[in-house]
């Protein structure tokens, strides 16, 4: 009996997650902290307050604040460049 | 005959295929029609497209959508081959940069993708435009809308919990498609207002964040009906966005019980927009949102729906423009 053929409707297998969570730094002393605000709700104020908390507990060396140009698109190339070249760690949020 | 490129799977029978597609996460939860090579070739022939024809892409997801992808998912959705040119136009529209596929299908807010069909193809395909047109009952409405959503799921990878991050989502994500009631209205059809020739066919794809009714059973004048509509729009407001600029749209679908007061008084869609514009842009009052449209033309008025209830439905946008794309029969 002829077998029934079905075509795969997808654009390929879903990609496997690349790597896992970044290793947690032993200390933030001397770190430059990236703050990536997604633009939703009070994201900027929340990250600013979080940064204040961090500076109270570690000798933070600097900050790289990024506010996305739109809540609906990823950070722009220049922002990625600043984060990957200047920041030791970066913090972002999900939702608003 | 075009060469199909998709991987092939073999089954003993139809039910085995349907169950396996469910198991693989390739459906929206409803059963699908088996996308056999013969069926997919018929769909591509109906649109005059090669399998490898690129309809668009989602760069952030490294996804390219081809005509074969659209055809496979249109078969699965239950479309007829003659629907394929409409599905192709809807996919192209949704993949326009400013239709913002990545955001509108990944958003926490669970936006839906509305397809409004215009032109003679509505009648050829029996597209529901009048009473009950937002709901079930028309194969074309149900399956064309579902085909776009299956492309979004299977090809663009907007899978709940993966790249679809909706908090609740919406039943409108199964399918949301209807036609403008061009026969029931003397107004210029939506696609013609947006620059396409009269007599042509087109789709307009609009990502809907919120849809609200604007009922008004009391007003008997154009001004009264439109004042109610303006209040509904100002109560909700629309989000602004630098990347989208002034190109966002609100779609207002006006039923016949409201339309007749405008039409009988000789008001066109443009007249309605001109009346509404200062009311939409007046300074905010407490409890109101801002309606951030770049111009009166950002408000897209559509005639549809059935008699009985004096209401207009307002489709507020997610972060996208409404994109109008011509339906090309038998070729790209």
B284 close contact with A: CB closer than 8 A: no
pLDDT tens for B269-316 read: 999 999 999 999 999 888 888 898 999 999 999 999 999 999 999 999
Average pLDDT over all residues of chain A: 90
Share of chain B above pLDDT 70, in %: 99
The residue-averaged pLDDT of A21-45 equals: 90
* pLDDT, average across residues B49-73: 97
Over range B176-195, report the average pLDDT. 98
CB contact under 8 A, A74 and B26: no
pLDDT at B197: 98
Give the one of B14, B65, B162 whose C-beta lies nearest to A4's C-beta. Answer: B14
Indicate if the pLDDT at residue B329 is higher than 90: no
More confident residue, A73 or A9: A9
CB contact (8 A) between residue B9 and residue A10: no
Residues in B 170-209 with any Cβ partner in A closer than 8 A: none
Q: Using 50, 70 and 90 to split pLDDT, how confident is the model at A23?
A: confident
Task: For chain A, say whether B65 makes contact (Cβ under 8 Å).
Answer: yes
**B117 has pLDDT over 70:** yes
Q: Which percentage of chain B shows pLDDT scores above 90?
A: 93
What pLDDT sits at residue B220?
Answer: 97
Instruction: Give the pLDDT confidence score for residue A1 in this predicted structure.
Output: 65
Q: Is the model's pLDDT at B191 over the cut of 80? A: yes
Per-residue model confidence (pLDDT) at position A20? 81
Q: Indicate the burial class of B183 (C-beta count within 10 angstroms; 0-12, 13-18, 19 or more).
A: exposed
What are A20's two structure tokens? 């896992």
- The tokens of B45 are what? 């022939």
**Across the interface, which of A1, A5, A14 has its CB nearest the CB of B8?**
A5
Q: Does the pLDDT at position A17 exceed 80?
A: no
Instruction: Count CB-CB contacts under 10 A for residue B207.
Output: 28
Q: Is residue A39 very low, low, confident or very high in pLDDT (cuts 50, 70, 90)?
A: confident
Residue B1 predicted with pLDDT over 80? no
Nearest to B35 among A6, A11, A95 (CB): A6
Q: Do the Cβ atoms of A9 and B35 come within 8 Å? A: yes
Q: From chain B, pick out residues whose CB is under 8 angstroms from the CB of A67.
A: none
Q: Does B156 touch chain A (CB under 8 A)?
A: yes
Distance CA A49, CA B324 (A): 44
Instruction: Identify the band that residue B241 occupies on the pLDDT scale cut at 50, 70 and 90.
Output: confident
Q: Is the pLDDT of residue B4 over 50?
A: yes
Domain segments of chain A as ranges: 32-92
Question: What pLDDT is attached to residue A73?
Answer: 84
Pairs across A and B, CB distance < 8 A: 96
Q: By CA distance, what is B162's nearest residue in A? A: A14
Average pLDDT, chain B: 96
Place of tokens 């405008």: B262
Q: Quick check: B248 and B321 in contact, CB under 8 A?
A: yes
Taking only the tens place, the pLDDT of each residue in B149-169 is 999 999 999 999 999 999 999
Residue A61: band (very low, low, confident or very high) from pLDDT cuts 50, 70, 90: very high
B11 touches chain A (CB under 8 A): yes
Interface of B with A in 108-147 (CB under 8 A): 108
pLDDT at B73: 98
Please state the rounded mean pLDDT for residues B97-122.
Answer: 96
A interface with B, Cβ–Cβ below 8 Å: 1, 3-11, 14, 69-74, 95-96
- Cα separation, B171 vs B282, in Å, equals 34
**Cβ contacts (< 8 Å) between B64 and chain A: which residues?**
11
B226 CB-side CA count, 13 A: 24
- State the pLDDT at residue B3: 94
Q: What is the structure's pLDDT at B332?
A: 42
Q: Is the pLDDT of residue B112 over 70?
A: yes
List of residues 6+ apart from B93 with CB closer than 8 A: B99, B203, B204, B205, B323, B324, B325
Read off the pLDDT of residues B16-59 as tens digits, 9 standing for 90 and up: 999 999 999 999 999 999 999 999 999 999 999 999 999 999 99
Q: pLDDT digit string (tens) for A62-87?
A: 999 999 888 888 888 999 999 999 99
Structure tokens at B252: 């207002």
CA distance B317 to B58: 20
Cα distances from B129 to residues B105, B125, B141, B177, B300, in angstroms, run 26, 12, 9, 9, 16
- Nearest Cα residue in chain B from A12: B155
Is A45 a residue whose pLDDT tops 60? yes
Select the more confidently predicted residue: B16 or A43: B16
């Amino acid at each position: 009996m002829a077998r029934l053929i079905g075509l795969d409707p997808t654009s390929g297998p879903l990609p496997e997650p690349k790597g896992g969570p970044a290793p947690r730094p032993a200390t933030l002393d001397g770190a430059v902290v990236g703050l990536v605000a997604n633009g939703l709700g009070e994201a900027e104020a929340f990250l600013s307050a979080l940064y204040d908390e961090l500076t109270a507990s570690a000798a933070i060396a600097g900050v790289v604040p990024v506010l996305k140009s739109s809540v609906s698109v990823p950070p722009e190339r220049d922002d990625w460049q600043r984060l990957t070249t200047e920041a030791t760690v970066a913090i972002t949020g999900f939702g608003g | 005959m075009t060469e199909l490129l998709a991987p092939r799977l073999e089954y003993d029978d139809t039910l085995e295929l349907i169950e396996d597609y469910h198991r693989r996460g390739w459906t929206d939860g409803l059963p699908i029609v088996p996308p056999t090579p013969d069926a997919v070739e018929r769909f591509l022939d109906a649109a005059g497209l090669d399998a490898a024809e690129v309809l668009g892409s989602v760069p952030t997801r490294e996804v390219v959508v081809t005509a074969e992808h659209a055809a496979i998912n249109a078969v699965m959705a239950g479309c007829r081959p003659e629907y394929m040119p409409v599905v192709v136009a809807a996919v192209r529209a949704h993949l326009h940069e400013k239709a913002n596929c990545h955001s509108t299908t990944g958003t926490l807010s669970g936006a839906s993708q509305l397809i409004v069909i215009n032109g003679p193809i509505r009648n050829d395909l029996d597209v529901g435009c009048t009473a009950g047109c937002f709901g079930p009952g028309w194969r074309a409405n149900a399956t064309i809308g579902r085909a776009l959503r299956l492309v979004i799921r299977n090809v663009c990878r907007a899978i709940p919990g993966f790249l679809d991050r909706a908090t609740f989502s919406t039943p409108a994500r199964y399918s949301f498609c209807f036609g403008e009631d061009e026969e029931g209205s003397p107004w210029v059809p939506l696609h013609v207002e947006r620059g396409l020739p009269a007599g042509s066919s087109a789709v307009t794809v609009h990502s809907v964040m919120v849809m609200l009714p604007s009922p008004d059973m009391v007003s008997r004048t154009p001004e009264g009906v439109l004042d109610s509509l303006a209040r509904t729009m100002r109560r909700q407001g629309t989000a602004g966005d630098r990347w989208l600029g002034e190109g966002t749209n609100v779609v207002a679908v006006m039923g016949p019980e409201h339309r007749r007061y405008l039409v009988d008084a000789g008001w066109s869609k443009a007249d309605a927009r001109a009346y509404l514009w200062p009311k939409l842009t007046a300074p905010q009052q407490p409890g109101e949102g801002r309606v951030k449209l770049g111009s009166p033309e950002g408000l897209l008025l559509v005639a549809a729906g059935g008699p009985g209830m004096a209401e207009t439905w307002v489709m507020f946008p997610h972060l996208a423009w409404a994109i109008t794309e011509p339906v090309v029969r038998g070729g790209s």
